Amino acid sequence: MGDADSVRFMLRAEVRCAGQTLISSGTELSEHKIFVVTDWHPPIDTAVSVRLSFPKLVEPIELAARVSGVRTAGNPGEPGGIVLAFEDRARAAAAVLAARVRRLCASARLKHAEATTYRVLLVEDNALIRDMFTFGMMRSFQPPSVVTIEHAEDAARAWGKLGEARYDLVIVDFFLPDEDGASLITRMRSDERLADVPVVAISVGGRLARDATLSAGADLFLDKPLVLRDLMHTMRILARHEVDRSLEAGGRRRAVLVLDDSPLALAVTRFALETAGFEVAVAADLETFERLRLTFWPDLLLIDVQMPEAFGDDLASTLRGWHGVRAPILLVSGLEEPELARRASAAEVSGYILKEAGMTALVDRCRELLGSAA
């Protein structure tokens, strides 16, 4: 792509065009462009919408773009695909996303002093592929001991390991003996313990394997032969993020984003939460709220139901169902409790708090959801 500020982190890329959706991986992200791996080659200047995300690291963001170039598969490790140039109106949001990923990349070097180990389960029946992964990790992580990779030759052994230990990442081949990778991923996504574990599917099976594993719930699909350089770089960032979360637990101030059109309510809520030890950002309108959501990275969102631009429960439902926001969401309102409870249930949020309950109840509810603030 040639952009000096692009970052080689693998994102989930959902490209929508003319009612069709292509789910693949994207890399070389900058505020102007992203490269998406695909064998679909639409005409140059085709208008598309691309939704970029990665579990636990990057919440989904939808960007308008146009096809600006096509790459055919080149040398080994150079997959084919399309270059998407972001529309002018999407570049501000793309710049925020690129800055977020760049910060993750900048902190990806692990140190000897960090005791936390990032655990990876590779479900692959080919011994040479397993050796390649292990060797690639030894070269990519310093010291190698900060990341461990365990192997399972089939779905049955993988399921046994998943029942015994917690893994930070699972890499699953589609073609496995007895039970394919898509079936294993389906079982993982149906199990409450494993539903949020990032899963990368790999295969030589092309579109058939891609569609099957992504439909089953894989976060990314990568064609073999793999671009190990990009995958290992992504794994370093994931590992760095898990180390940071482990080291900061109990010491980091948890972040709360509050949306309310009342300046008085915002001021009082902010004072109460900051006094309790939380880091707080406030928004009085949707534009400010969305900007802060993408830059402040809140651990909890408090959303007033009765807003002038949109009902808070509709906004919360959209954040959950369309943007994939996983942070807890509380609806806050002066409505009667039965009505507020109904709205919270329909929006599938974490709960609600009545304004008349007061700031002590609100702070207690935030602590209940997030644990200690300081």
Look at residue 367 in the predicted model and tell me its pLDDT: 87
- pTM surpassing 0.75? no
Positive or negative torsion for Cα 87, 34, 257, 105: negative
Distance CA 110, CA 127 (A): 28
Chain centroid offset of residue 319 CA: 13
pLDDT recorded at residue 200? 87
Q: How far is CA 97 from CA 58, 63, 128, 299, 301, in A?
A: 8, 11, 36, 18, 20
11-106 placed in CATH 3.40.190.10: no
Helix, coil or strand: residue 156: helix
The pLDDT score that the predictor gives to residue 234 is: 65
pLDDT at 93: 84
Say if CB 132 and CB 228 are below 8 A apart: yes
12 and 23 in contact (C-beta within 8 Å)? yes
Strand partners, 16: 21, 49
Tell me which residue has tokens 């399309």: 82
Question: In the chain, which segments carry CATH 2.40.10.220?
Answer: 11-106
Name the CATH code of domain 118-248 (choices 3.40.50.970, 3.30.460.10, 3.40.50.2300, 3.40.50.10490). Answer: 3.40.50.2300
**E strands, 154-294, where?**
169-173, 199-203, 220-223, 255-259, 279-283
Beta bridge mates, 329: 301
pLDDT digits (tens, 9 = 90+) for 292-304: 887 777 889 999 9
Q: Which fold has domain 255-370?
A: Rossmann fold (3.40.50)
pLDDT beneath 50, residues of the chain: 1-2, 108-115, 243-244, 246-251, 372-374
- Boundaries of CATH 3.40.50.2300 in the chain? 118-248, 255-370
Yes or no: say if 28 and 3 are a contact pair by the CB < 8 Å rule.
yes
What are residue 333's DSSP bridge partners? 354
CA gap 77, 228 in Å, rounded: 8
